[in-house]
Amino acid sequence: MRGLFITLEGGDGSGKSTQIRNIEKFFTDKGLAVLHTREPGGPRISEKLRDILLDTENTEMDAVTEMLIYAASRAQHVRETVIPALERGEIVICDRFVDSSIAYQAYGRGLGDMVAEVNRHATGGLSPDITIWLDIDPETGKARASGDKGPDRLDLESTDFHARVREGYRHIAETEPERFKRIDATGTIEEIKEKIYACLEELCRERCI
């Protein structure tokens, strides 16, 4: 049996970490094995690339370099961690995936179609069964963020950059409505959880889980 691949997208203050824990609980309550992972990151090599990507000292990083390192980190993660877990029949819950590269690198940085093309190679064609996008206005999100970890290199980008990122996500939501579910992240934790659970129940029904 092949497992399920579930990804979450959403910026600062969207409540992504809390909702990932809820998604994990949704599946463990059904007695299913869950693997929780993240991008950039996951296996050792990908975590090393993460450090380079998020280091606020790397201000001179070129946009193409950045895009390729995200893709390199992903290529290792997919092959070393995600695919083996799916083949074991596990539920893989990943904090960010290719949609982040489309939003941040293709739209935010303006790199366009090149990003999807490179990522086709990085993922080997693997696509999530469902993606939950916790949408929040970047300014509201920033004000709401708990501040438990400092901003990373991308968080420090301009308001315009973050507006383009959101535009990228909106575009994906329009073109792939079956897979990519927009959820308004301004509600309460409980309201958002209910909406996510409704999407997951539907997916489980479709897959007879």
Q: Which residues bind ligand TYD (CB under 6 A)?
A: 11-12, 38-40, 54, 70, 96, 100-101, 104-105, 152, 154-155
Q: Which is nearer to ligand TYD, 6 or 154 (CB)?
A: 154
CB of 189 to ligand TYD, least distance (A): 16
Encoding tokens for residue 93?
Answer: 């819950």
Q: Which is nearer to ligand TYD, 3 or 10 (CB)?
A: 10
* φ, ψ at 90 (rounded to 5°): -85, 165
Q: Which is nearer to ligand TYD, 52 or 204 (CB)?
A: 52
Q: Which is nearer to ligand TYD, 19 or 105 (CB)?
A: 105
Measured CA to CA, the distance from residue 45 to residue 74 in angstroms comes to 10
CB of 165 to ligand TYD, least distance (A): 8
135 Cβ contact partners less than 8 Å away, ≥ 6 residues apart: 10, 14, 166, 169, 182, 183, 184, 185
CB of 74 to ligand TYD, least distance (A): 7
CB of 73 to ligand TYD, least distance (A): 8
CB of 204 to ligand TYD, least distance (A): 25
Measured CA to CA, the distance from residue 187 to residue 177 in angstroms comes to 21
Q: Which is nearer to ligand TYD, 154 or 173 (CB)?
A: 154
Q: Which is nearer to ligand TYD, 32 or 142 (CB)?
A: 142
CB of 90 to ligand TYD, least distance (A): 21
